[in-house]
Structure 1
């Protein structure tokens, strides 16, 4: 007797343009419903230099064109540049130029992580934001400037305090400690910058512990991309996803 096997389910494609060294593919997938496929393409490498040099090189519109074409070729309906620092380091004009470059390369809808983070913080009604990040001081200062220019009062900007080259090895314990250290009594939300930091399993318990929304770079990236398609991200008890 023949068995009838249903499926596979029709899929909606979301394009992720990631930095060349991005290693959190699995974390992004955890926010995605079963009807969505992530198509991930990486940028070329960046020249050796300090943290600011590296992210500035990946802030150039030319860095996103080829990977955008690749994800669009397999059906991405929205494309997001999944790097916070690479998209905020040039300010609002630099972020807008990246989105325009993605549209020019074929993206129907184009987003960046830094733009998604601003939308997410507004959605949770944040005004006073405590920021935690793994960057060197010049890049951390650019992040503060970007958020202030976006209308937020940055009440703290706390670095992880390890060499940037070690960020890819950071685990949950270090990120949780960073969030607790960076929180301030007058902050009404916490933003965890950098798509290299793992955060999925920390968000809900730390929101309960600290009594305020915790918005993270990877969470905001997927949430914003799916929102463009009128789809809901998956993440139990995460404040942003309930709103």
Structure 2
């Protein structure tokens, strides 16, 4: 008997920073009828982390990779800029400009990681949060500025102080310790920033242990991109995915 054939796929475009290494993690949130098509930005120097994320905050960096995933034959129904610092370092106005650049490049809908985090905090009703991240101080300061500009009260901010070129080597144990140690007793939720940190398997168990929602960069970005086209992300026990 001949099988019926593969499930018809809906394309989601991921515009990733050139140094992104968590492609497989993004796929774990995808249901069987969703395919992720990843295109990366042009490379920039890794020598200075703040300069790196500032370059990735340039809307013109997104034009080519957005076109690659949204034009025929791929035809992604939404484009998601998968880079947290690259979408928050210029503040709310630049985040809007990044989305506009993806729309101008052909994306039917556009999402950024940082914009997705704000949407996630909104649906959870989380206005007072603890933030954890791997960044050096100048980038961490911009993250707090971005969240504060959006009306979020950042009760605490804890980081690893790592340069961007080594963040991809962080393991689950380090990430779990960062989240646990970075919680604040008065926080409505914990935000784990940076798409290079591994988080998928940590979210649900740490939510149960700490008794509050945990929003991670990759989780929020995929959730928002799927939500934009009426698709539910997969992730057992993850609080955000109830919405």
Whether TM-score is above 0.5 comes out as yes
Deviation (angstroms), 1:162: 3.5
1:31 matched to 2:29: yes
Q: Which residue does 1:185 correspond to in 2?
A: 185
Determine the C-alpha separation between the residues in 2 that align with 1:184 and 1:108. 39
Q: CA offsets per residue over residues 57-86 of structure 1, 9 Å max, x none?
A: 011011100000000121100001000100
SS of equivalent residue, structure 1 residue 76: coil
- C-alpha contact (below 8 Å) 2:22/2:195 kept by paired residues: yes
SS of equivalent residue, structure 1 residue 126: coil
- C-alpha contact (below 8 Å) 2:13/2:38 kept by paired residues: yes
What is the aligned counterpart of 1:64 among 53, 62, 65?
A: 62
Determine the C-alpha separation between the residues in 2 that align with 1:6 and 1:183. 49
What is the aligned counterpart of 1:53 among 51, 54, 62?
A: 51
Q: Let me know the Cα RMSD of the aligned residues.
A: 0.9
Structure 1 gap ranges (5+): none
Alignment of 1:91-170 (within 5 A): 91-170=91-170
Structure 2 gap ranges (5+): none
Q: CA offsets per residue over residues 71-102 of structure 1, 9 Å max, x none?
A: 01211000010001000001011111111111
Normalising by the residue count of structure 1, what TM-score does the alignment of the two structures yield?
0.97
1:87 matched to 2:84: no
The aligned length equals: 241
- C-alpha contact (below 8 Å) 1:132/1:191 kept by paired residues: yes
Q: Which runs of at least 4 in structure 1 moved beyond 2 Å after TM superposition?
A: 161-165
Normalising by the residue count of structure 2, what TM-score does the alignment of the two structures yield?
0.97
Q: CA offsets per residue over residues 100-158 of structure 1, 9 Å max, x none?
A: 11111100001100000010111111011100011111110100010111111000111
- C-alpha contact (below 8 Å) 1:81/1:111 kept by paired residues: yes
Deviation (angstroms), 1:48: 4.3
Determine the C-alpha separation between the residues in 2 that align with 1:95 and 1:229. 20
SS of equivalent residue, structure 2 residue 168: helix
Determine the C-alpha separation between the residues in 2 that align with 1:192 and 1:149. 18
1:209 matched to 2:217: no
- C-alpha contact (below 8 Å) 2:136/2:162 kept by paired residues: no
1:19 matched to 2:25: no
Q: Which residue does 2:233 correspond to in 1?
A: 233
- C-alpha contact (below 8 Å) 1:47/1:57 kept by paired residues: no
